[in-house]
Chains A and B, each alone.
Chain A
Amino acid sequence: MYKKLPLLLIIGVLLFALPSLLFALTADEIIGEMDRLSTFETTYSIGSIQTTDRFGTKTSQFKSWSQGKKDSLIEFTSKAERGQKILRTEGSLYLFYPDAEQLIRMQGAALRQSMLGSDISYEDMTEEKNTLDNYTAKLEREETFKGRECYVLTLTAKTRSVAYPIQKIWVDKQTYLVWKAEYSTAQGRLLKVMEVLDTFNSGNRVLPKQSKIEDKMKKNSSTLMTVDSFEANPKLDRSIFTLENLTW
């Protein structure tokens, strides 16, 4: 009987552990699902960016349209920057300044410039949702964050063309919402932290309603990005994501 005990134990462990091993998601599958659930055929949203520093709070309102993983257009509607637009499509980013009727194509380091003095860069704002094209994902562990069971993953950049060489993200095990993200340099120096403060439901998907972004290189500065209204899969003309519409 005692001789058979180890064998029984192994069989028992296998019986309990095998299903979870068989059905456990890989890091790539988690990221794939995360991207899938945060990507819509088309979206239209209205929101604001609130930047707070020691002199007070600055608010910029915007309207935003997106299509699939790569196309997005943002138009600012607040007074100081009314009519300024950002178009990201096919990997290129264009700015339009209505006062000067000027069309500017942004490339390289210029993409990392702070947008309207906030903690968000142009690249952050118009981020493409094809994570696995640019990053290698590794599942570190599972942990509870804000009362939610999360996967904790580390993303390491495959190319130098991305803004953040290393990302550590907390992905909700049920909804695949990214509750928290830490963005670092290749040497591991923390650059920015994003945390979701509030969420909303769009169909069966959970999306961030309010996110707080802190640039860790700044003192006493944070940016709140709020989505005031959101429409999933509205009928959008492809011409929205063109230079013609950008300069309209």
Chain B
Amino acid sequence: MVGKKKLSIFILVVLITLSSLIAAENPTVTMNLLPTLTYKAHTDSWGALFNGDLSVALSSKQEENTRGEVVLKANTLIPITKLDDVLYKAYFKARFPSFRLTGGKTRLSWGDGMLFNAGDVLYGSNDISVSLTQAELRSTTDWLASVNYPLGFFSFAEVVFMAPETYKPRDTFFGARFYTVIKEIKVEGGYATMQKSGGRLHKPYFSLQGNLGFDWYLSSSLAIPEDGDIIKESSESWIISGGFFHLVTLPADMSLTLRLELLTRPFGQWETGPVSDSNAPLLLYPELVFAYSPSLSFILRSIISPLDLSAMSIVGVNWNVFEAFNLAGSISLATGDDEDLFAWSSSKTDSSSFSATIGSSWIF
């Protein structure tokens, strides 16, 4: 029975993919080929990886009221165990006179923040398990249905239903948000509810964005449980994220972009010493991009845990040599003691103490 179900899903997805291919304007292929050398201090071992990332995007013709896209994505380092691992996006959008319907596997970006975003109550953007070498730090997609209802030129309301992992209707994920601009400040607020292993959680959030000579953004959210010690668990779940972004124009067409984000848990464990990803009371994300020219840039990114004085940092270079063709290289380094969040001798299987990457990316 399960085999037949999987086969049916597989055939359905293949049909969707083929029909998209026929109707697609032009497939877009994105290829990232990034050979990487790693060193793991915990085992004192070197490794050589071929980090290859391939995606094929098939977009529908640009109709006035319907459009869609299928994106297949695979990475040489991530095993494919099910079709969903390859199907990165498969969605349609339909525009009705007064609202817009989106259905399928895609992403919705709620809140503000490049790495830390407390307003992202749908996928969660408060953990540190990201690759700092990627241009897009958060890119999770999921099966969902959403309705976007415009409330003016710069305001809208959005409702989303996401498929539960348990396939049980009572575990359905639901969320809604409101987006508007008030006196030059973007104001966004919403709520999501989802079933987790410990029970149902209710997540209200708000997000603000504005400019004070530099761009700033601020988000905050709570995860309120239905059962247990509601006040204690709610306060412990409270997260605030914020950041600023500024671009400094330098002579000879050079520029420097500065970004600093922070994530804080006001009721986290504010004690010096080892912290874990889930209860780190304060994390910082500074990012410096020095553009020598519009096609050549140098990047410094770091996630810093000030309480245990550990950090994961990368220094990279990106050169847009030809149209849609880039050469890139980076070095990443963990600096922290054994029990720290970013330990040099971390025993975690997916972390390395040091890595060096050089490669290319191409879109055609």
B298 to chain A minimum Cβ distance, whole angstroms, is: 16
Which residues of A sit under 8 angstroms from B320, Cβ to Cβ? 117
Q: Are A100 and B107 in contact (CB under 8 A)?
A: yes
Give Cα A238 to B249, complex, Å.
Answer: 35
In the complex, the answer to whether A110 meets B247 with C-beta atoms within 8 Å is: yes
**Would A243 and B154 be within 8 Å (CB), given that A110-B247, A217-B252 are in contact?**
yes
A26 within 8 Å of B (CB atoms): no
Contact across chains for A114 and B294 when beta carbons are under 8 A apart: yes
List B contacts of A101 (CB < 8 A): 106-109
Report B89-113 CB contacts with A as 1/0, cut-off 8 Å. Answer: 0000101000010000011110000
Is A241 a contact partner of B153 (Cβ separation < 8 A)?
yes
Given contacts A101-B107, A243-B156, contact A112 B294 (CB under 8 A): no
A119 to B155, CA, bound (A): 33
Asked whether B26 is an interface residue with its Cβ less than 8 Å from the other chain, the reply is: yes
Identify which of B78-86, B209-217, B220-228, B334-342 touches chain A: B209-217
A209 CB-CB contact with B under 8 Å: no
Q: Give, as a whole number of angstroms, the nearest-CB distance from B184 to chain A.
A: 8
**Shortest beta-carbon distance from A8 to chain B in Å:** 60
Chain B: CB-nearest residue to A56: B322
**In the complex, which of the residues B26, B107, B323 contacts A59, with contact meaning CB atoms closer than 8 Å?**
B323
Using a CB-CB cutoff of 8 Å, which residues 206-247 of chain A contact chain B?
Answer: 215, 217-218, 238-239, 241-244, 247
In the complex, which of the residues A59, A90, A110, A248 contacts B93, with contact meaning CB atoms closer than 8 Å?
A248
Whether the Cβ atoms of A58 and B215 lie closer than 8 Å is: no
A20 → B minimal CB distance (Å): 44
- Asked if B324 and A109 make an inter-chain contact with CB atoms under 8 angstroms apart, the answer reads no
B248's partner among A59, A109, A117 (CB-CB below 8 A) is A109
B364 on interface, CB distance cutoff 8 Å: yes
Query: Is B148 a contact of A244 with CB atoms below 8 Å?
Result: yes
Contacts of A82 in B (CB 8 A): 28, 59
Interface string of A67-99 (1 = CB under 8 A from B): 000000000000110110000011010000001
A105 is an interface residue with CB less than 8 A from chain B: yes
A215 to B154, CA, bound (A): 34
Is there an interface contact between A218 and B109, defined as CB atoms closer than 8 Å?
A: no
Determine whether the beta carbon of B211 is less than 8 Å from that of A107: yes
Contact B323 A58 (CB under 8 A): yes
A180-B211 Cα distance, complex, nearest whole Å: 33
Interface residues of B in 31-75 (CB under 8 A from A): 59, 67
Residues of chain B lying within 8 A (CB to CB) of residue A57: 323
Chain A, interface residues (CB within 8 Å), range: 35 or more
Nearest chain A CB to B43 CB, angstrom units = 36
Asked if A144 CB lies within 8 Å of chain B CBs, one says no
CA distance A59 to B107 in the complex (A): 29
> Are B364 and A100 in contact, with the CB atoms below 8 A?
no
Cα A114 to Cα B253 in complex, Å, equals 9
Q: Are B150 and A244 in contact (CB under 8 A)?
A: yes
Q: Contact at A79–B363, with CB atoms within 8 Å? A: yes
Whether A242 lies near B154 (C-beta < 8 A) is yes
Query: Is A103 in contact with chain B by the CB < 8 A criterion?
Result: yes
Residues from chain A with a CB closer than 8 A to the CB of B295 are 53, 55, 117
B77 at the interface (CB under 8 A from A): no
Q: How far is the CB of B343 from chain A (nearest CB, A)?
A: 31
Contact between chains at A80 and B363 (CB < 8 Å): yes
Q: How far is the CA of A248 from the CA of B69 in the complex (A)?
A: 12
Of B150, B211, B253, B293, which contacts A242 at CB under 8 A? B150
Q: Distance in Å from the Cβ of B146 to the closest Cβ of chain A?
A: 10
Chain B residues with Cβ below 8 Å from A90 are 153-154
Does A112 lie within 8 Å of B249, measured CB to CB? yes
Which A residues lie within 8 Å of B321 (CB)? 55
Identify which of A99, A117, A215, A244 contacts B156 (C-beta below 8 A): A244
Contact of A108 among B138, B153, B213 (CB under 8 A): B213
Within 8 A of A (CB), among B268-298: 293-295
Closest CB in chain B relative to A161 CB, distance in Å: 11
Measured CB to CB, the residues of B under 8 A from A are: 26, 28, 59, 67, 93, 95, 100, 106-109, 136, 138-139, 148, 150, 153-156, 179, 181, 184, 186, 209-211, 213-215, 245-249, 251-253, 255, 293-295, 320-324, 363-364
Given contacts A80-B324, A108-B211, A248-B100, 14 further A-B pairs with CB under 8 A are A53-B295, A58-B323, A102-B109, A105-B186, A105-B209, A107-B210, A107-B211, A108-B246, A110-B215, A112-B249, A114-B294, A218-B252, A243-B179, A244-B150
